[in-house]
A = this chain, B = another copy of it.
């Protein structure tokens, strides 16, 4: 299952979906050899999409950051975010009222783009005007007061509550981690005994969106696509469930030392394993 060269593997496919953190980027910057790999695939006509559980920034914002790291050919439209999935939901289901959010003002862009009025949860004055609640980012609010504001806003009312990023933790500098939006939402679900609407991997919705995006002319089959990720519980299980081939990289959340045990313990098996996409 362990494969030496990612490039050799990649050439067996017509389209490749990449996770962002831990695959294309790491805490220090780009993954070594990453930009060259993407360039090579592009030149050979292989389709590229980035599937990221990041609802804190817009597509163009993320594309700019990729360019700064040396990924010249990753365009805005190649990046599919969990925030976009949440936006599609809001657009269809919230037709009146305001949407309260937890996150930065930048992250509220997804609410505005859905055609809804956005209000930070700390600024809600009349709860009855609120038609939906969205967890967008782990920054931009006071955790203590604003988490309690969220709990009191939703606990006695029936409004859809959306989690636009399902990740529990994200890596920071020095081998440390920090609580991500999904972890914060999980806290609120636990204490209220509810289940919110989660968007992002491992849900197949995002894979389906990406697949339809490359397959406008109906020329792709699922077996033409490879999902590449560093996390068994999101990238790999999601890709497996969608029915595409999956490749685990060891440059992020899953370590070279423990990956075999992690696979047996969780029962989530990738089709391939490589050190990193730069190999």
Interface SS majority for chain A: helix
Q: Is the CB of A88 within 8 A of B243?
A: yes
Q: Is the CB of B191 within 8 A of A168?
A: yes
A233 to B268: give the CA distance in the assembly, Å: 23
Chain B residue with the shortest CB-CB distance to A155: B177
Q: Mark A217-246, 1 if CB is under 8 A from B, else 0.
A: 000001100000000010001001101100
Q: Is the CB of A267 within 8 A of B194?
A: yes
Residues of B within 8 A of A7 (CB): none
Q: Mark A242-268, 1 if CB is under 8 A from B, else 0.
A: 011000000000000010010111111
Residues of B within 8 A of A243 (CB): 88-89, 91-93
Q: Does A45 touch B at the CB level, under 8 Å?
A: no
Contact residues of A between 169 and 227, Cβ < 8 Å to B: 169, 176-179, 183-184, 186-187, 190-197, 203-205, 208, 222-223
A92 to B245: give the CA distance in the assembly, Å: 9
Chain B residue with the shortest CB-CB distance to A264: B158
Q: Does A119 touch B at the CB level, under 8 Å?
A: no
Q: Is the CB of B176 within 8 A of A152?
A: yes
Residues of B within 8 A of A265 (CB): 193-194
Q: Does A115 touch B at the CB level, under 8 Å?
A: no
Known interface pairs A151-B179, A177-B151, A183-B187; A269-B204 also in contact (CB < 8 Å): no
Residues of B within 8 A of A241 (CB): 89, 197, 205
A66 to B189: give the CA distance in the assembly, Å: 34
Nearest-neighbour CB distance to chain B for A270, whole angstroms, equals: 10
